């Protein structure tokens, strides 16, 4: 699936699986791991196929600093075709002179998370900001792909650890934590405030 952060061949290679008998179980583990990462971080790491429109109330979403008024938006993964407008109801005016932030985000493989007006404001009261863009990330970051691999492998093997308990003759029984500590470490830099 396009919205999974780990492809089937890589997953099978990591688990040393060569047959196709368990592909359905592997697919379910990959999908569940990807969605768990989405929930943990509060974002998703795939790019929409087509642009769509989202509307924002600037109240509580604007941070003013020395660079200007920064409107915090959902992750934008492609600047091509980006349209920004302000207004309300059926009356919209194109915004020009805005910048995207953080600087060089797309060049570094990261998403645009803010639109910056070096001078002026995004509006108040009933004013809304309408943004048309391809939402998501330009590509799945390596950390997220690795976290998906670790978590998917854990979920796949879960069928062998009833009640969340794993064991060995050497160590005895061990209760498994809800989220692998390595996954937590890998996804932490991507977590939005209020998530994780």
Residue 181: how many other CB atoms lie within 10 Å = 9
| Alpha-carbon gap, residue 55 to 66, rounded angstroms | 25
Cα-trace Rg, the chain: 21
Residues 81-137 have pLDDT tens digits of 899 999 987 899 999 999 999 999 999 999 999 999 998 889 877 789 999 999 999
Nearest partner of 137 among 29, 1, 3, judged by Cα: 3
Residue position matching structure tokens 């915004």: 95
Q: State the average pLDDT for the chain.
A: 88
**Domain locations along the chain:** 8-45+140-190, 52-135
Report the C-alpha gap between 132 and 114 in whole angstroms: 14
CA distances from 124 to 2, 11, 81, 117 (A): 39, 49, 26, 14
- Binned at pLDDT 50, 70 and 90, residue 196 comes out as low
pTM: 0.83
pLDDT in tens, 30-50: 999 999 999 999 999 999 999
Taking alpha carbons only, the member of 147, 125, 176 closest to residue 41 is: 147
Helices and strands (H, E) in the chain, number of each type? 4, 9
């Amino acid at each position: 699936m396009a919205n999974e952060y780990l492809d089937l061949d890589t997953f099978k290679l990591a688990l040393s699986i060569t047959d196709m008998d368990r592909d359905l179980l592997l697919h379910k583990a990959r999908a569940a791991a990807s969605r768990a990462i989405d929930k943990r971080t509060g974002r998703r790491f795939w790019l929409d196929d087509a642009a769509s429109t989202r509307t924002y109330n600037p109240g509580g979403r604007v941070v003013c600093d020395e660079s200007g008024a920064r409107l915090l938006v959902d992750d934008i993964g492609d600047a091509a075709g980006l349209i920004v407008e302000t207004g309300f109801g059926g009356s919209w005016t194109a915004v020009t002179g805005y910048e995207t932030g953080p600087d060089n985000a797309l060049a570094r493989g990261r998403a645009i998370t803010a639109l910056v007006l070096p001078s002026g404001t995004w509006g108040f009261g009933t004013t809304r900001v309408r943004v048309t863009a391809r939402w998501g990330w330009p590509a799945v970051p390596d950390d997220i792909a690795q976290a998906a691999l670790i978590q998917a492998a854990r979920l796949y093997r879960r069928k062998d650890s009833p009640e969340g308990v794993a064991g060995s003759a050497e160590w005895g029984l061990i209760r498994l934590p809800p989220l692998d500590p390595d996954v937590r470490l890998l996804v932490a830099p991507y977590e939005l405030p209020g998530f994780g």
